[in-house]
Structure 1
C-alpha cells in the first residue's frame, strides 16, 4: 500500500497517482491510488513529484505551492517539461530580455511538417530571481525544495544533476538506439557561476575543444523562512536550439537603461540531439529517473514517496488556481518590471550610451520614455530641429501617453493621430520604429 502524502503539505488537496518505488513511472497504469490529504502527521519526509502537464503557468504555480505549504522538514524533487516559452526572472524587464514580436511569431509545431504551422512562445515571469531562459519539450526542469538551513548549497543540487547524467547506463536504449553515449557526458561539470557546462561538440558528438564549453543547465534559487528552492533547466535535446537566440535578442536592448537583473549570455548546447520525438521522450524519462535516484541516494531519509500530477488534479484547488491566474496576468508579466529609461540619446549626467537610431529618422530626433512598474511616468518625444516646435511636439505626445501602461499601447499610429503639432515628414518613420521597439502585446 503506497504511503499517504500527509507529510508533504499542510493544505494539500491534490489527487495523486502514486508509484511505490523509483523507476516505475512507466508502469503506473495498474498502480493508481487516488487519495486526498489534509494533514502533516505522517513520517514521510522525502517526495518526488513528476508533472504530466506542459503548461508553464500551472507548473510554476504547483512549484510555488509546494514551496509555500510543504512541511519545512521535507525534501521535494519536482520535475516538469514546458511547452515553448521564455521565462524571465522576478526582477527582469521583458522588453530588455526578450524579442516580443518573435515570441508572438512562435516556433514551428514539432509534429507538423508544414513550417507555416506555428505555436506562440509564451512569456512567463517566474517568482524567483536569476536570468532569462527558454523552455521547450527538449528542456527538463528540475526543482529541489529543501529545508533552508546551513546545508543548503546551489552547487550541491547542480552536482546531483551532473551525477545523474553521468550515471545513465550506456545500455539505456529505445528502439535499439543508445540514449546517451558515455563520450557525450565526458567533461560535464558545474562551473563557478553554478551552471552545468560541457565541452562544445559537433552535432555528431565530436568534441571541438575541451576548453570551449557550452551551458546545458542554468539555475536560480529562492529562499523563504524555513524553505529553500533551487530550480533549473536542462537542455537535453531541444529541437529549437539554433533559434533560441532569436527569442532572447531584444531589438530594444541597445536603447534601454534599466534597473533590475540583466541576463548573462552564454553559449548553449544539447546533451544529445535527435530528430525523433520518441527518442527525445525516452531520453527525458531516463534523465528524470536518474535524477530521482540520485535524490533518493543523497537525501537518505527513508523511501521517497513518488507521484505524478496533471491538470485534472488541481481542479477546485483555489490557491493553485489563484497562482495560475496571477502568473498569466499582464499585470504580473509587465507591471512587475523595475524602473527603466528608453532613449536614443545620452542624457545629461547619465553614463548610458544608447545604440544608433534608424537612418530614416532625422538627427534631431529625441525620444525619452521613463517607465516605472511598466507605466510611462515621464517622456519627451520630438522630431523637429526647432526647439520651440520640438517642445510643442513633446508636450502633445506627453499629454497622450503620460501614465499609460506600455503593454497596453497597441497602435503607435493612433497615439500620434490627431496631433496638429505633428506635421514632420518623418512622423511615419518614428511610428514604425516605436512599433518595432514596443510591439503590440496580445490581451
Structure 2
C-alpha cells in the first residue's frame, strides 16, 4: 500500500524547500504531505516575468530572495508567519487536477479551530472575503503537486510593499498576478496559538484522517540530492529571472529639462535590442550604448559593470552613472 509521508520541514530556506518539492515529485513512490515556512522571500509562478512582479528596490534593500516555482499561477510573499503546504500525489492522468480535494482538508482543519474559510473561483481560500491562501498545481507524469500558502501571522505591510510594481514599464505575455485583499488566520482564532502549534495541529489532523499517513524525515542521501538541486537550479539567476518570457521594458527619465526614454527587448533574460527616444544623446553615444549593452543579462550587477567602463565617459557629461543605471530598471 502506498504511504502518505507527512513531513514538517526544518528548513526555512526557499531554495531548499522548493527544491525539496521538485525532488519528491520526481523521485518518490509514495504520496507526500509537507509543511514548511521560509525566510522573507517572493515566490513567482513558473510562467511569470520576475522583474514585473517584484518591487526591485524594496527587494534589494530588504535582501529578499526571489525564487521561481514549478507551478504556474501568481506571485506570493513568504515569511516566517506564513505556512506553506504541499500535496504530492499519484493519480490518473487527465483526472488528477483537483483544487477542491486538496483545499478541503485545510478548510476542515481551520473549521476545527472555529475559523470559517471559503474557496473562490480562483481556488483561493478566504476569510470574510479576504485571502488567506493562494494555491497552484503542477503535473509530472502521473503525479501532481498541489501547494498553497496559509497566511497565519505574516507582516502584511511588507507583503504589500514587496510586490508593488509599475506594470506600465513592462509589455509581455507572461501570467500576471491578481492582487487581492489579504488577512491573517491568527486574527480569527478564539485563543492565541503559536505558528508551531498551528503547523503541528495540521500535521496531526492529516495523520489522523488518512490511514496510510506516517510522519517522515528526509534521509541524508535525499537531502544531498535536494541541496544539489537547490544550488544548481533554485539559487540560479537563469531559473529565477532568465526563465521569464520575452518582454519589452520601457522607462522615461527627466534630467536637466531633457527627457530620455529607453526601450529594452529582452529574451531569456538577455537584452536583444535597445532603443532611445528623445534628443538627449547623439548617434555616436547611442552606438556606444548598443555596442556594450546588447547581449548582456538584464541584471543590475551586469549593467553596473558596463556603466563603469571608460567607453561610457563621454556620456557622463550629460547623465550620471546612477541615472544611466536607473534607466534600466
Q: Report the TM range for the smaller structure's normalisation.
A: 0.7 to 0.9
Which of the numbers 251, 268, 279 marks the counterpart of 1:373? 268
1:190 paired with 2:124, answer no
C-alpha change, 1:361 and 1:285, in structure 2 (3 Å) is: farther
* TM-superposed deviation, 1:371: 0.7
C-alpha change, 1:105 and 1:190, in structure 2 (3 Å) is: same
* 2-structure distance, mates of 1:287, 1:332: 32
For structure 1, which runs of at least 5 residues remain unmatched after alignment? 1-42, 107-119, 169-181, 200-212, 345-356, 439-443
8 Å CA contact 2:293, 2:306 repeated in 1: no
Q: Deviations over 1:32-89 (max 9, x none)?
A: xxxxxxxxxxx34322122111111111111111111122xx4321111111111111
* TM-superposed deviation, 1:395: 1.6
Match in the other structure for 1:348: none
* 1-structure distance, mates of 2:17, 2:273: 37
Which of the numbers 74, 85, 101 marks the counterpart of 1:156? 101
Q: Deviations over 1:240-280 (max 9, x none)?
A: 112211111135x3211122211111111101159xx9733
Match in the other structure for 1:350: none
1:100 paired with 2:56, answer yes
RMSD: 2.7
Q: Deviations over 1:203-252 (max 9, x none)?
A: xxxxxxxxxx21000011101111011101000111x112211111135x
**SS in structure 1 at match of 2:131:** strand
* TM-superposed deviation, 1:303: 3.0
Match in the other structure for 1:435: 326
* 2-structure distance, mates of 1:303, 1:334: 39
* TM-superposed deviation, 1:412: 7.2
* TM-superposed deviation, 1:411: 2.0
* 2-structure distance, mates of 1:433, 1:287: 51
* 2-structure distance, mates of 1:423, 1:64: 47
Kindly indicate which of the two structures has a greater share of residues assigned to helix.
2
* 2-structure distance, mates of 1:254, 1:362: 23
C-alpha change, 1:358 and 1:397, in structure 2 (3 Å) is: closer
* 1-structure distance, mates of 2:256, 2:278: 8
Match in the other structure for 1:225: 141
C-alpha change, 1:229 and 1:334, in structure 2 (3 Å) is: same
Which of the numbers 229, 236, 249 marks the counterpart of 1:323? 229
* 2-structure distance, mates of 1:59, 1:373: 25
For structure 2, which runs of at least 5 residues remain unmatched after alignment? none
After TM superposition, the structure 1 = structure 2 runs for residues 40-439 of structure 1, keeping only pairs within 5 Å, are 43-71=1-29, 74-106=30-62, 120-149=63-92, 150=95, 152-168=97-113, 182=114, 185-186=115-116, 188-199=117-128, 213-238=129-154, 240-251=155-166, 253-273=167-187, 279-290=194-205, 292-293=206-207, 297=209, 302-309=211-218, 313-314=219-220, 317-325=223-231, 326-344=233-251, 357-360=252-255, 364-381=259-276, 383-384=278-279, 390-407=282-299, 408-411=301-304, 414=307, 417-419=310-312, 422=315, 425=318, 427-428=319-320, 431-432=322-323, 434-435=325-326, 438=329
- Normalised TM-score (structure 2): 0.87
- Tell me whether 152-161 or 216-225 shows the greater mean CA deviation: 152-161
- Normalised TM-score (structure 1): 0.66
**SS in structure 1 at match of 2:137:** strand
* TM-superposed deviation, 1:285: 2.9
Q: In terms of Rg, which structure is larger?
A: 1
* 2-structure distance, mates of 1:256, 1:401: 19
8 Å CA contact 1:75, 1:147 repeated in 2: yes
* 2-structure distance, mates of 1:231, 1:103: 24
* TM-superposed deviation, 1:390: 3.7
C-alpha change, 1:261 and 1:145, in structure 2 (3 Å) is: same
* TM-superposed deviation, 1:129: 1.3
